[in-house]
């Protein structure tokens, strides 16, 4: 049901270091105010300060609007879970995979219109070692890409920066051994990447699974078990479409919990940020966050 009225109080936090943050932040604030919201704008000084800012203003606002990319939204996530304040998204980042999963377009006016309409959707959140994530957590290839992809490259090159970082990483990437534990069943794999997805999209528009939904109560897991560049080139279209199960080189499964163990601790990337290491326990948090989203007819 749509929530309307002119008294809703919004906390607006814009990451001005995001690709469009500085130029679009002012427009977002003005459009939110024009839609009837009372807007309290706060600076995003650092990733660590973002959650603190939300907690500090939680009793004085009715919703939180975050302008930025997936990393900025991930930084807000712990506070959103704690406060249960609904989230409005202004997609100012490079990849904007959460916005893509929720069918929120990058156009600021349209994104503000979705918030102003007041329709909400309860979505799941993934968690690894106590660290929550919206889109995906992974180790191996994408973790190396996250380290290779600098903020400067994202701002200057956009999604093409992901392509360059991926090519550089693939040249030096080597398989590693891991143990995946699902429902008490341990599976040994030799892989270049293990990804655990919660939403549908990640990595600038790749699909974790064709039918994945961010409120389906499942984590979608895949393991890439080849390091041949020509084979990965053939598989790439399947990554765009989320149709990985048809390839023998890709191990896929859906679950609510999974553990991953490696001989040495390996970094884990959650929504583009390195936040924890193996051994890792992943689980799904059902309906942990409420977001403003288009109605079903607009998705």
CATH of 131-286, one of 3.20.20.70, 3.90.220.20, 3.40.50.920, 2.60.200.40: 2.60.200.40
pLDDT over threshold 50, residue 81: yes
At 240 the pLDDT is 85
pLDDT digits (tens, 9 = 90+) for 12-71: 999 877 656 567 778 999 999 999 999 999 987 788 899 999 999 999 999 999 999 999
Does 4 score more than 60 pLDDT?
Answer: no
* Average pLDDT estimate for 214-233: 89
pLDDT, tens digit, 9 for 90 and up, residues 141-173: 877 666 656 555 455 545 555 665 666 666 667
* Separation of alpha carbons 161 and 146, rounded Å: 11
pLDDT at 26: 87
Q: Which two tokens stand for residue 111?
A: 């994104």
pTM: 0.87
The mean per-residue pLDDT over the stretch 230-251 comes to 86
In the chain, where are the structural domains located?
9-118, 131-286
The burial of 111, by beta-carbon neighbours within 10 Å (0-12 exposed, 13-18 middle, 19 or more buried), is given as: buried
| Contact predicate 127/282, CB 8 Å | yes
**CATH class held by domain 9-118:** alpha beta
pLDDT of residue 166: 64
3-state secondary structure (DSSP) of residue 69: coil
Percentage of the residues of the chain whose pLDDT score is greater than 90: 65
Q: If you search the block for the tokens 């008490």, which residue do you land on? A: 184
Residue 3 has pLDDT above 50, yes or no: no
Which is nearest to 198 in space by CA: 181, 183, 218, 180? 218
- pLDDT at residue 15 in the model: 87
Averaged over 204-213, what is the pLDDT? Answer: 91
pLDDT at position 133 over 90: yes
Q: How far apart are CA 15 and CA 68, in angstroms?
A: 5
Calculate the average pLDDT of the chain.
Answer: 87
């Amino acid at each position: 049901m749509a929530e309307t009225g002119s008294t809703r109080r919004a906390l607006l936090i814009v990451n001005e270091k995001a690709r469009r943050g500085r130029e679009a932040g002012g427009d977002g604030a003005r459009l939110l105010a024009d839609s009837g919201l009372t807007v309290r704008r706060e600076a995003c000084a650092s990733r660590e300060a973002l959650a603190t800012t939300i907690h500090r203003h939680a009793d004085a606002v009715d919703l939180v609007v975050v302008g930025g990319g997936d990393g900025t939204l991930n930084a807000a996530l712990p506070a959103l879970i704690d406060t249960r304040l609904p989230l409005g998204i202004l997609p100012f980042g490079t990849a904007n995979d959460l916005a893509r999963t929720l069918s929120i377009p990058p156009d600021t006016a349209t994104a503000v219109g979705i918030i102003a309409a007041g329709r909400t959707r309860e979505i799941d959140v993934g968690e690894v070692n106590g660290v929550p994530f919206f889109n995906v957590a992974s180790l191996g290839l994408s973790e190396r890409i996250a380290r290779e992809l600098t903020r400067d490259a994202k701002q200057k090159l956009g999604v093409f920066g992901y392509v360059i970082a991926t090519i550089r990483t693939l040249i030096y990437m080597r398989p590693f051994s891991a143990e995946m534990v699902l429902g008490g069943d341990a599976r040994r794999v030799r892989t270049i990447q293990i990804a655990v997805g919660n939403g549908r999209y990640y990595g600038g528009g790749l699909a974790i699974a064709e039918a994945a939904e961010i409120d389906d109560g499942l984590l979608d897991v895949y393991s890439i078990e080849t390091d041949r560049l020509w084979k990965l080139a053939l598989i790439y279209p399947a990554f765009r479409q989320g149709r990985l199960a048809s390839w023998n080189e890709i191990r896929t499964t859906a679950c609510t919990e999974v553990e991953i163990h490696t001989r040495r601790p390996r970094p884990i990337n959650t929504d583009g940020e390195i936040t924890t290491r193996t051994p890792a326990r992943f689980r799904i948090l059902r309906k942990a966050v409420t977001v403003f989203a288009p109605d079903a007819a607009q998705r």
